[in-house]
Amino acid sequence: MAAKDKLFAQFTMLNYLHGSRDRSVQEILDHLLENTDWGKAQLKGGAGDFGLRNVQNWLIDIRSSAELATQIAYRGDPRTRRQPLYSATTPTVGNRIMPIEEACLALMAEKFLQAAIPADFFDAALQDLFVAARSRLKEHEKAPKQQRTRVREYLKRIAIEQRGQTLVERDVPYDVLGPLSRAILEGKRIECRYRDDKRELHPFGIVLRSPKIYLLAVDDYVLRRRRPEDVTPALFLCARISDAKVSERPNLVPDDFDADTFIEHGGLDGDADDWGSGDRGFKLVLRIFDGDCDNLLSDLTEFPLSKDQEILREEGTGHYLLSARRMRGTHQLIEWIMGRVERIEVVAPTALRNYIMERLDAMRTRYT
């Protein structure tokens, strides 16, 4: 039998299923036996099931395929029907089939990014995507259990969790995020109230620091006195912004501002200290007290503090010394050091060591 005869039979099957009532495997086979060369060859060969198993396998293959211009929907419960029923569907985005893997990614994006998506942005750009993804997932779950992956359970088993104590989330300020996002896209300023004070802000960007959402911006009166490239944006908590609307006046933020670079260089830690290290950062040296049941050493080996990190055993003590270059004095670093309590000791820089000692003394004072 020629390969083209088999391919033609498969497309004949899809055409038969489109726009018709639900069909059983036997009905599909009967149609192919009568209308295709493949079917006539099955009859001529005298096979006992006349290709029934072939049709069942084709249905399974097409259900899991992302390459064909259609998908096969399963109807009915195989426990109560002698033969399951099938029909052709087209769960598409535009004119393209959405693979089940892509549907999973879309639904994960909806789950984890919903706090950052303004409602009008969702309606304009993402609603069709998420609806198509949910439709694709629904169709996939209709497959017999042995033919489907546990997609719905997979989505429940993926989570994102921040380190440290989790704060209770507030309602997402969608009425604020919408105007802020439009202002950034259109290159405009934001007119709003912040803690009830009237402000005109030049928005640099938006940062999600779960559960808080920040606007990076500079007041207009600041930019009237200084050049945009000479200012550092301040943090405005979106939950404290009200009456936000897009101004008609242009935003003077530098075109090359990058939020990731801003964060990497300690921009979210405005009152932190680099202890005179400048843009190059400083060399951090920690003494690690490796306990019998402590996995701190292995953690730091697998997840280093810096790309330029080295851990060596300290002669004469049995402990270890960690050296990490290009470090910055962020609040996260301070909290990480103090959170390791007696397991580590800051050796250098001296200014950081003294700062940690001051914080510990202040804490001890509170408890005495």
Per-residue pLDDT of the chain (368 residues; tens, 9 = 90+): 567 788 888 888 888 887 667 888 888 888 888 888 888 888 877 655 668 888 888 887 776 654 454 567 766 655 555 667 887 765 544 556 677 778 888 888 777 776 666 666 655 556 677 778 888 777 777 666 655 666 667 777 777 777 777 777 667 677 888 899 889 988 999 999 999 899 999 999 998 887 788 999 999 999 889 988 889 899 999 999 999 999 999 999 988 899 888 887 777 765 455 554 556 688 999 999 876 556 888 889 999 998 889 999 998 888 999 999 988 888 888 989 999 889 999 999 999 999 999 999 999 999 98
| CA-based nearest residue to 25, from 58, 67, 1, 48 | 58
State which residues form the domain around 150: 96-156
Q: How far apart are CA 302 and CA 312, in angstroms?
A: 15
One-letter amino acid at 177 equals L
Q: Is 319 part of any domain?
A: yes
Full-model pTM:
0.60
Which stretches within 142-201 are classed as H helix?
A: 151-156, 174-186
Q: Which of 263, 290, 311 is the last residue of a domain?
A: 263
Boundary residue ending a domain (263, 293, 310): 263
pLDDT number for residue 16:
84
In one-letter notation, the amino acid at residue 316 is G
> What confidence score (pLDDT) does residue 145 get?
63
pLDDT at position 240 is 93
Confirm whether 167 is domain-assigned. Answer: no
Same domain, 84 and 100: no
| Number of domains within the chain | 4
pLDDT score for 80: 53
Nearby residues of 302 by Cβ (< 8 Å), 6 or more positions away: none
Which residue, 137, 62, 127, 74, is CA-closest to 101?
A: 137
Q: Are residues 292 and 345 in the same domain?
A: yes
Residues sharing a CB contact under 8 Å with residue 330, sequence separation 6 or more, in sequence order: 266, 268, 269, 272
Separation between Cα atoms, residue 122 and residue 136, nearest integer Å: 19
Looking at the structure, tell me whether residues 234 and 282 fall in a common domain.
no
Q: Does 107 share its domain with 67?
A: no
pLDDT at site 147 = 54
Last residue of a domain, one of 240, 263, 286: 263
First to last CA, the chain: 90
Structure tokens at 283: 């060399």
Give yes or no for a contact between 216 and 196, defined as CB atoms under 8 angstroms apart: no
d(CA 206, CA 235) in angstroms, rounded, equals: 9
Bridge partners for 320 per DSSP? 288, 313
The CATH number linked to 295 is 3.30.70
What is the per-residue pLDDT for 66? 47
